[in-house]
Structure 1
Amino acid sequence: MVISDAEGKELVRLARAAVEKYVSESAVIRPTKGLAKSGVFVTINHYETSGETLRGCIGFPLPYKELQQSVIEAAIAAATEDPRFPPVESQELEHLLFEVSVLTEPLELIGHPSKRKELIIIGRDGLLLKWMYGSGLLLPQVPVEFGWDIEEYLANICYKAGAPPDTWLDSSSRLFTFQTAVFAEQSPRGNVVGLVKNPNNNK
């Protein structure tokens, strides 16, 4: 699905509102309207003068629910259930940045596993790897942020899935790509900008 700037800004503000309500009052807000079902991830960063540090990131790769409902659930989970971090506390809220990534439906890469990397473009494609013992997902912006080449990107999606780094070459594994429309706060409670828009036009 294609997300407009106005819709993207609304989703980011909804993510913040959901976390602020839950952290401050232990209450869950309800969406006022629903967009089509879509996969979504909410990323929370801690804003610092020297840059940003990750504070939580959780989402749903498949379109199970209407988008606003998924944003609310993903935002609360990113703030309170990411196993890498303690739950967000109320005094942190004014120092956090919210980012929403709306996902296209993942498409499996078909063909010989050795040819998979030829179909992936860094900065455009996120990866979802499924193998016999689990799965892992990396958003398209991750390899850009870390400066990975395609080999490093593929090794890291395997690590994310808890697999050896060459599992993407195993014929029993399944590798999917997807694109995202990304919207993020530039400062805490500040202006929201689209970082990547209309992902279907990037193919």
Structure 2
Amino acid sequence: MAEPGTQQRDGADGHPGPALGAALLVRARNAIAAEFGEAPQPEPAQPRLDEPGATFVTLTQHGELRGCIGSLEAWRPLDTDIRANARAAAFRDPRFPPLAREELPATCVEVSLLTPAEPIAFADEADALRQLRPGIDGVIFECGGRRATFLPQVWESLPEPNLFLAHLKRKAGFAPDFWADGVKLHRYGVRKWKESKTTCGAVAELD
């Protein structure tokens, strides 16, 4: 990892690359560790961190989910967004108790950088299901003031579009077979990076 203050570049194609991923991961971990009074790891400089960005932070322990919180819109600087979502995933995910200090060494961090969401035009539920792209689309389901999302990573456990959408509707507070004229769907992509499974804190890029 680069020394603090060293500027790292994105991928040669202009897309977010390992340098940005490393910068996001270390800031996410530092934000959590700071709540326990631990000294921060060196944070490589990255100019993109000053730009607006939308991120999700996912925490796992031994392959099991331990927290996941994020932003669907880029409304604040990326540096601010990643730190805030890391703290929220660790301490304010309502599905889990707040992370304890002794859990931190066994907790691995994954960060997802979202592309802007785009609406999906569809005639009915069957048409919507045909348009979903397993393994690619993050999906936002919205109806009647309720909203829920699944990151593209969720396709790994729910590979069929009908099951994916049914579970997403349930997450939004609806029955799995619910459908109504007011349903809105949006899709987005992500670039994601995850700490090594063997050594949390080492960066491995995931496409």
What range is the shorter-chain TM-score in?
A: 0.7 to 0.9
Aligned to 1:108: 119
Give the number of the structure whose residues are more often helix, by fraction.
Answer: 1
CA distance in 2, matches of 1:190, 1:22: 17
Of 146, 155, 164, which residue of structure 1 is paired with 2:175? 164
- Give how far 1:113 is off: 2.5
Are 1:19 and 2:32 counterparts? yes
Give the Å deviation of 1:43.
Answer: 0.4
Percent of aligned pairs with the same residue? 29
Higher relative contact order (CA 8 A, sep 6+): 1
Q: What is aligned with 1:118?
A: 130
How far did residue 105 of structure 1 move? Answer: 1.0
Match of 2:61 in 1: 46
Q: Decide whether the 8 Å contact of 2:134 with 2:155 is kept in 1.
A: yes
State the match for 2:20 in structure 1: 7
Structure 1 residues 122, 24: closer, same or farther in 2, change over 3 A?
A: same
Measure the CA separation in 2 of the matches of 1:109 and 1:166.
19
**CA-based RMSD:** 2.1
Q: 2:97 aligns with which of 71, 86, 108?
A: 86
Q: Which moved more, 1:102-111 or 1:113-122?
A: 113-122
Matched, 1:137 2:139: no
Q: Unaligned stretches of 5+ in structure 2?
A: 1-13
| Counterparts of 2:44 and 2:105, CA distance in 1 | 23
One-letter amino acid of the counterpart of residue 149, structure 1: E
- Tell me if the contact between 1:31 and 1:68 (Cα under 8 Å) persists in the aligned partners: no
Runs of 5+ in structure 1 lacking a partner? 197-203
Is the 1:113–1:170 Cα contact (8 Å) retained in structure 2? Answer: no
Distance 1:2 1:66 in 2: 18
Q: Which amino acid aligns with 1:139?
A: L
Q: Deviations 1:93-143 (Å, cap 9, x if unpaired)? A: 111100001111111111313311222111100110111041101000112
Other structure's SS at 2:35 match? helix
Q: TM-score, normalised by structure 1?
A: 0.85
> Match of 1:176?
186
Q: Does structure 1 retain, via aligned residues, the 8 Å contact 2:158–2:164?
A: no
How many residues get paired? 187
Counterparts of 1:121 and 1:21, CA distance in 2: 39
Runs of 4+ in 1 over 4 A off after TM superposition: 30-33
CA–CA distance in 2 between the matches of 1:185 and 1:59?
18
Mapped to 1, the partners of 2:36 and 2:69 lie a distance apart of: 16
Q: In the alignment, does 2:70 pair up with 1:59?
A: yes
Residues 75-95 of structure 1, C-alpha deviation per residue, up to 9 Å, x if partnerless? 000000011111111111111
